[in-house]
């Protein structure tokens, strides 16, 4: 039997071509779930929904009214909700003293208030025994330079997930986060095209490589399956990088420079 057979899933943050939301939606569909994909751009959502035989809805996670509408759309399209996954995010890289109030407000809206209200809207229609998953980051636990606003909001919503797990466990609802590390994805496209940058990260990973979107989607799938007896946790899906550290900015720059000089010399 497929792991998500008969489950009804909502995945928000699935409008970016080839991003984690899309990879997870395809994985869910292969595992038997009915999937509604959501995000801000209709064309890619409609194409993905057609591909996987699911549904789609346009929704900005920072808009409370649209989130309420998403819950209604999910009930109408799927008949209810068993799984809710938040795969939205913005990888802001700005030095601490240069981070503006506008950036802080945008980050808080996208990565704390928005997810909080997304889970509120989903819990209002979620069936008992359901599962919630928040996509977090290894940087909510370990350091990365120039990333404070991103890291802080991810860490904050992780603790909200623990609160959900505690409050809604009586209904059999599980709530967890997954925390990937550096991953080749649309969010990291520029860095991921540079083997020297990838190598600077990979050497800090006990398993010897950086993660893939498939690694994270597989972890999300397990957390949403009936075989999972885990709640209130942050699953570190990052090859063990949290046992060590991320490279510093200086190390990343030095690795890129050394690779460039080696190419020029060759």
Give 71-135 as a DSSP string: HHHHHHHHSSEEEEEE---------GGG--HHHHHHHHIIIIIHHHHHHHHHHTTEEEEEEEEEE
Q: Which member of 119, 150, 201, 205 is catalytic? A: 150
> Is the pLDDT score of 35 beyond 80?
yes
- Dist CA 98 CA 236 (whole Å): 30
pLDDT category of residue 259 using cuts at 50, 70 and 90: confident
Architecture of domain 8-188+209-243: 3-Layer(aba) Sandwich (3.40)
What integer best gives the mean pLDDT of the chain?
96
- Rounded to whole angstroms, the Cα distance separating 111 from 109 reads 6
Over residues 171-193, the mean pLDDT reads 88
In this structure, the number of other CB atoms found within 10 A of the CB of residue 237 comes to: 23
Residue 258 has a pLDDT of 83
Per-residue CA distances from 83 to 175, 197, 264 (Å): 10, 35, 51
Nearest to 159 by CA among 184, 144, 138, 140: 140
Distance CA 213, CA 154 (A): 18
* 4-20 average pLDDT score: 98
With 80 as the cut, is the pLDDT of residue 220 above it? yes
Confidence of residue 184 (pLDDT cuts 50, 70, 90): confident
Active site residue 150: yes
Residue 65 has pLDDT above 80, yes or no: yes
Is residue 125 scored above 80 in pLDDT? yes
Q: How far is CA 61 from its chain centroid?
A: 13
Q: How confident is the model at residue 190 (pLDDT cuts 50, 70, 90)?
A: confident
pLDDT at position 192:
79
* SS3 of residue 34 by DSSP: strand
With a cut of 80, say whether residue 49 has pLDDT above it.
yes
Can you give the pLDDT at residue 228?
Answer: 98
- Confidence tier at 161 by pLDDT (50, 70, 90): very high
> Facing residues of 35 across strands?
9
Cα separation, 57 vs 71, in Å, equals 10
Separation of alpha carbons 219 and 181, rounded Å? 13
pLDDT at 187 over 80: no
Portion of the chain with pLDDT greater than 70, in percent: 99
According to the model, what pLDDT value does residue 185 have?
78
Average pLDDT over residues 77-97: 97
The closest alpha carbon to 32, from 203, 176, 226, belongs to 226
Judged by average pLDDT, the poorest of 158-162, 186-190, 194-198 is 186-190
């Amino acid at each position: 039997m497929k792991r998500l057979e008969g489950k009804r899933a909502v995945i928000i943050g699935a409008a970016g071509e080839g991003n984690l939301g899309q990879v997870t939606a395809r994985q869910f569909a292969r595992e038997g779930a009915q999937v509604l994909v959501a995000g801000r751009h209709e064309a890619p959502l409609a194409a993905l929904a057609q591909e996987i035989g699911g549904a789609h809805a346009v929704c900005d996670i920072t808009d409370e009214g649209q989130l309420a509408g998403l819950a209604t759309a999910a009930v109408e399209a799927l008949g209810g909700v068993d799984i809710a996954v938040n795969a939205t995010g913005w990888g802001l890289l700005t030095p601490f003293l240069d981070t503006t109030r506008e950036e802080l407000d945008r980050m808080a809206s996208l990565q704390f208030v928005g997810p909080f209200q997304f889970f509120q809207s989903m819990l209002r229609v979620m069936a008992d025994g359901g599962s919630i998953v928040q996509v977090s980051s290894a940087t909510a636990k370990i350091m990365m330079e120039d990333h404070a606003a991103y890291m802080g909001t991810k860490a904050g919503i992780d603790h909200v997930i623990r609160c959900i797990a505690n409050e809604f466990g009586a209904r059999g609802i599980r709530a967890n986060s997954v925390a990937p590390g550096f991953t080749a994805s649309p969010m990291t496209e520029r860095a991921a095209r540079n083997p020297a940058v990838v190598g600077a990260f990979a050497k800090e990973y006990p398993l010897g490589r950086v993660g893939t979107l498939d690694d994270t989607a597989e972890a999300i799938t397990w957390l949403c399956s009936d075989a999972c007896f885990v709640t209130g946790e942050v699953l570190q899906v990052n090859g063990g990088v949290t046992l060590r550290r991320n490279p510093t900015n200086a190390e990343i720059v030095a690795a890129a420079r050394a690779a460039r000089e080696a190419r020029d010399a060759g």
